[in-house]
Structure formats: structure tokens, C-alpha cells
Amino acid sequence: MIFEYNDEADENAELAKNASIYGVAYEMLYLSEEDKMIRFKALNPKEIIPIFDKTVEQNLMAVIRYYDDYDVVDDKTYTLVEVIDGSMVRRYKMDNSFLLLEEYPHYFGMVPIAIYKNNEEERGDFEAVISLIDAYDKMESDTLNDFEYFVDAYLALYGFTAEPEDVAQMKENRILLMDEGTSAEWLIKQTSDTYVENMKNRLDADIHKFAKCPNMSDKEFASNASGVAIKFKLLGTENLVSIKERKFKRGLQQRLELMSMINSVLREGFDWRAIDIIFTRNIPSNDTDIANMVNTLKDIVSEETLLAQIPFVEDVQDELERLKQEREENKELNPFFQTGLSYQTNAMANSTEQQVKEEEKE
């Protein structure tokens, strides 16, 4: 209910986007003023300064959030600063000095901020290839500029003198009337299209290689679409995603721990460590190979493990319950089918036996 109330899927997508861009994402948990429901909201990473202690665990001591706010009365923009620690929220107004506006407790028992790191270094996904992307953009821009210069090329006339009226007339009629011994040609920049295209292709390949993101439009990538081939081509991406998944899981665990803390104060609490967090890869899969694998491992591996391998099975436990229910229903129906089948078999046998006796009498 809490997840549906907060539209958790959209919130997770926003956090993942912030982590991929800025290297880290922050989420604040609070209670709504109307019904005291637990809310969580992604914050702008550019407005957050986390403060950790010097212990090995590097526990979060406080978070400073600063943002600009426009005052309609004074017609002036001020910077508001929020200091959030393990028990209080203090809001200041910065104008030559810090003016305390308000302070109130939050009852979470710890800093109500969940941190989602993209990696341990807190680097964005594209930071390693920014220079390559800039070089590729420059190559594309220069190519377009060269094309524009070619369209706006100058006409050079050698040994020919003409008045502006004559040039305008020749441009309109698209005919040059020139004296003997004169010549004309277009002044254009000589460029090698092959060199430019090879350089752009090399930059494009390096961007995908160092970003560990394969080029989906590449013919070589789509040449072999089997499940094993796709996984092999996505190996670098898979290793990168595994790191992102582990870091994002820690942030989700912080969210659950904060929800458990405040829930124990408001109503009955829960053990956040008993909740399993499962990630599902959004990659193409060969359902035929998976079905063959599941069928081969039948009676060797548990049904729960086999169902977990099927991509379209979202809830394994729910699927097991429905499978169990169907089997129980079939057990209840089978005796009736068996009785009917036995009755029909006996009737057919008696009819055949009676027919044989009548034929013998004749």
C-alpha cells in the first residue's frame, strides 16, 4: 500500500536516472501532513551535501540541503538551507547571515535520507567517455559546416572583368558569357569524406566500448540472436549493471529500514531484513531455449527454481500457489472422470458380449 501510494516504480526510475547522471541519488522520507502516511521523494543531487562520521562504517550523521526560493513580498530570491540530522529538521534563510525559520522533529530515529550510489566512486555512466562524445559532436558539427560552406561556395573568375549588373544577370540566367582566355571555377574546401567517416566510426566504437554499452544497431551485434550470444555480447554491460544493482539495493534497504523505524512508532512495525529485493533484467531472451532448459531439468531441480528462470513469471510464490490449486482441482475432478470412463467401458463391454451371444443363437 505504501509503495502504491508513492508510485514506487516511477520513483525508482527517477532515482536510477539521477544515479546514472550524477553518480549518486538521494531520497528523503517524511510523513504527509494530512493522513500521516509515509512518503518518499527523490531530491536534486546538486542540492545535497551529506556528512558522514569518521568511523569504519561511515555512518550518515546529517544532510545539508540548499535551494533557491523566490520571495514574492520582497521580490528577491533567497537561498534556503535545511539541516537534517537523526532527530531534527532545521530550516534557515541565508541573507547576509543565517536566520532560523523553523525546526521540528521527524521521529525516524536516524537521518531520513536514503543514498543510492551508482558505484563506489560516485561516477556517472558517461563520465569516462565525455571527451569522446565531445569529439564526435565536433566532428558532426564540422561536417555540417563543410556542407554549408560547399553550398555557399564562391565563384572565381580569372581574366574576366564584369560589372555587378552583369554578375547578377549571369546568376539569374545561370549562364557565363566569358571572353577568350578567361576561366571560372568554384572555390570550395577540399575535404576527405573517407577520413571523416572513418574517424566518426572510430569514435562511435570507442564510446560504446569504454561506456560498456554495445551498439544495438550494429549488424554484427544482431547477426547472432541466440540467448547465449546475446549474453556474451552484453557481458561488459552485465558486469557494470551488477555493480549498479548492488549499490541500488543498499539504497532500497535504507528506505525499508527507515520505513520500518517510523512504522514502529505510528503503528505495528515489520522486519525490513525479511524482505527480499529481486531485480529483473530487461534484456531480450530466447523463450524456446528457456522452455527446453526448464523441461530438461524437471525432476532434477525444484519447481520454485525452475519457475524463477521463466521471464514472464513475475511472482514465483504466487505461481506455485496457483499451480498447487490447479493440481488439487484436477485431483477432485479425476475420480468423476475415471468413474464415467469405467462406466462407459463396462457398458461397451456388456453390449459387445450381448451382441456375440445373440449372433451365436442365430
- Please indicate, yes or no, if residue 172 is contained in any of the structural domains: no
Structural contact between residues 18 and 42, judged by C-beta atoms closer than 8 angstroms: yes
Q: Which domain holds residue 74?
A: 2-117
- Please indicate, yes or no, if residue 337 is contained in any of the structural domains: no
Structural contact between residues 186 and 155, judged by C-beta atoms closer than 8 angstroms: yes
- Please indicate, yes or no, if residue 224 is contained in any of the structural domains: no
**Residue 93, burial from CB neighbour count under 10 angstroms (0-12, 13-18, 19+):** middle
- Please indicate, yes or no, if residue 295 is contained in any of the structural domains: no
- Please indicate, yes or no, if residue 18 is contained in any of the structural domains: yes
- Those residues with Cβ within 8 angstroms of residue 217's Cβ, 6 or more apart along the chain or in another chain: none
Q: Which secondary structure element, helix H or strand E, spans residue 48, and what is its range?
A: strand 48-52
Mean pLDDT of the chain: 82
- Please indicate, yes or no, if residue 111 is contained in any of the structural domains: yes
pLDDT in tens, the chain (362 residues): 788 888 999 999 999 999 999 999 999 999 988 778 899 999 999 999 999 999 998 999 999 999 999 888 888 889 999 999 999 999 999 888 889 999 999 989 899 999 999 999 999 998 989 999 999 998 888 877 777 666 666 777 787 777 788 778 777 777 777 777 788 877 666 667 787 888 888 898 888 888 888 877 776 666 665 656 667 777 778 888 889 999 999 999 999 999 999 988 877 778 888 888 888 777 666 677 788 888 888 888 888 888 888 877 878 888 888 888 888 888 776 655 444 444 444 544 455 555 545 555 55
What cell numbers appear for 271 in the block?
Answer: 522486519
At residue 89, the pLDDT reads 95
Q: Is 62 left (phi over 0), alpha (psi -120 to 50) or beta?
A: beta
- Please indicate, yes or no, if residue 354 is contained in any of the structural domains: no
Residue in 239, 10, 243, 13 with CA at minimum distance from that of residue 117? 243
At residue 357, the pLDDT reads 56
At residue 317, the pLDDT reads 85
- Please indicate, yes or no, if residue 42 is contained in any of the structural domains: yes
- Those residues with Cβ within 8 angstroms of residue 270's Cβ, 6 or more apart along the chain or in another chain: 260, 263
pLDDT digits 0-9 by tens, 96-107: 888 999 999 998
At residue 110, the pLDDT reads 92
Number of domains in the chain: 1
At residue 186, the pLDDT reads 73
Answering whether pTM is above 0.95, one says: no
